[in-house]
């Protein structure tokens, strides 16, 4: 394995690629008791249509999430979660729009736990009976999500912003879509997306990088697989599908999300720079030290739950502002007015320097979390950049970059709002 030293953050990272195409990234942490492993595939809820061996394949909504649930079943009848827990590890997994990840942390027996992790993720075992049982379990999870105000708020916004992009659909799918999932579909999607060429293994802790690669080489398949071509639907218009979504639910105050579609950056270091510029811009615009937040908070229009975020996946990108408010329409107007002001005037220099300095410090503090280290390295790997370059890239972001984000990525005509109102009012 080769290594790279990052003088700005005082880290050494080992990385390499096995003959089967798996990328391995190890961040040694000498003297630490905890060890963390994160095994991820570049496959999430949006990856429903793809091409392999020259053929386009369409799958139901929710397959990636369903597959994550079923991967813990092992052929001998045991459950990998139980096995890892009994061996002193704390395991878990999740599926997002673009990544499925399996991970654990432990203090002892790391090699044995890593072997278990790699084994159950790479060796699927499904039966018609177990799939039918899981359909009932996940169906209940989906119905619970439909009763959750935050879930409805977010997907109300996604369906408002996007006409066809799969970001508009729940990662878990629908009760109807998961009823179409069969063992054959699960096996086929596992073969396509869980091949080592489409995956990355990230480890942090007091571990030997060569031992990690040796274990991976012994457990995982020898041959690389074909990387699928993905289709996220026709190119979206910049304008939203609809400008407003509302629903009445059991909430004490109205919940709102104001979203804005924008063009995503191409994969690579430019994507990292764009994401970091967005983070600085949104903190200047609506962070808890921004003039807008102080004004809205002082008037009782928002509380400390108010936040602003940027995300990109499946060929899409969007910014969101949201929280609780007695008057979401007024808050939305205030945000739009502040965007227009900053688009012309640009960020105030003193505030810009302070926000950027705080952002660099935040990026460095992330290194205290093994989970954040591995998650950010894996996400960066799939998007073609090195997440450990974040402090360096962030330091190069200028006031002009932020002003350009306000002008180009926060166009008020590309906005939609989702609101959950208290039932009965």
Secondary structure, 3-state, 394-414: HHCCCHHHHHHHHHHHCCHHH
Q: SS3 of 385, please?
A: coil
| CA–CA separation, 170 and 155 (whole Å) | 7
68 catalytic residue (yes or no): yes
Q: Where are the alpha helices (DSSP H) in 238-384?
A: 269-286, 291-298, 328-345, 349-365, 370-383
73 - beta bridge partners? 79
* DSSP sequence for 77-116: S-BHHHHHHHTT-EEEEEE-SS-EEEEEEESS-HHHHHHH
Q: SS3 of 310, please?
A: strand
For the beta carbon of residue 321, count every other beta carbon within 10 angstroms.
26
Task: Write out the two tokens for 378.
Answer: 């894996």
79 - beta bridge partners? 73
Residue 266 per-residue DSSP state: P
| CA–CA separation, 129 and 307 (whole Å) | 44
Q: In what order do the strands lie in the sheet with 55-58?
A: 55-58, 49-52, 229-230
| CA–CA separation, 204 and 371 (whole Å) | 8
Catalytic residue among 61, 68, 105, 283: 68
For the beta carbon of residue 124, count every other beta carbon within 10 angstroms.
19
Residue 30 per-residue DSSP state: T
Would you name the residues annotated as active-site residues?
68
């Amino acid at each position: 394995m080769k290594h790279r030293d990052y003088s700005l953050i005082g880290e050494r990272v080992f990385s390499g690629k096995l003959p089967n195409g798996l990328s391995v990234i190890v961040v040694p942490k000498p003297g630490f008791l905890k060890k963390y492993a994160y095994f991820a595939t570049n496959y999430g809820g949006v990856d429903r249509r793809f091409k392999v061996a020259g053929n386009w394949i369409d799958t139901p909504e929710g397959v990636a999430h369903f597959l994550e649930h079923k991967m813990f079943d092992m052929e001998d009848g045991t459950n990998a979660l139980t096995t890892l827990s009994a061996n002193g590890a704390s395991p878990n997994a999740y599926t997002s729009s673009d990544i499925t990840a399996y991970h654990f942390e432990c203090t002892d027996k790391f090699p044995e736990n890593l072997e278990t992790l790699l084994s159950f993720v790479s060796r699927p075992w499904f039966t018609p009976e177990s799939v039918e049982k899981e359909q009932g379990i996940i169906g209940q999870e989906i119905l619970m999500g439909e009763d959750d105000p935050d879930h409805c708020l977010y997907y109300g916004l996604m369906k408002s912003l996007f006409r066809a992009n799969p970001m508009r659909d729940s990662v878990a799918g629908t009760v109807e879509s998961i009823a179409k999932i069969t063992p054959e579909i699960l096996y086929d999607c596992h073969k396509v997306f869980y091949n080592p060429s489409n995956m990355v293994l990230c480890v942090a802790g007091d571990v030997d990088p060569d031992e990690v690669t040796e274990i991976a080489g012994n457990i995982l398949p020898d041959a690389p697989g074909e990387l699928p071509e993905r289709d996220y639907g026709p190119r979206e218009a910049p304008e939203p599908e609809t400008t407003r979504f509302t629903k009445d639910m059991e909430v004490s105050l109205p919940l709102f999300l104001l979203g804005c579609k924008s063009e995503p950056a191409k994969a690579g270091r430019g994507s990292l720079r764009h994401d970091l510029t967005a983070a600085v811009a949104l903190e200047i615009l609506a962070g808890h030290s921004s003039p807008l937040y102080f004004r809205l908070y002082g008037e009782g229009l928002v509380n400390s739950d108010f936040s602003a975020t940027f995300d990109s996946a499946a060929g899409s990108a969007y910014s969101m502002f949201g929280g609780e408010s007695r008057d979401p329409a007024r808050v939305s107007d205030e945000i739009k007015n502040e965007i227009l002001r900053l688009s012309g005037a640009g960020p105030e220099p003193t505030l810009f320097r302070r926000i950027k300095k705080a952002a660099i410090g935040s990026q460095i503090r992330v290194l205290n979390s093994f989970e954040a280290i591995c998650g950010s390295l894996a996400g960066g790997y799939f998007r073609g950049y090195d997440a450990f370059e974040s402090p360096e890239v962030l330091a190069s972001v200028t006031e002009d970059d932020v002003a350009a984000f306000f002008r180009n990525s926060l166009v008020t005509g590309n906005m939609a709002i989702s609101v959950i109102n208290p039932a009965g009012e």
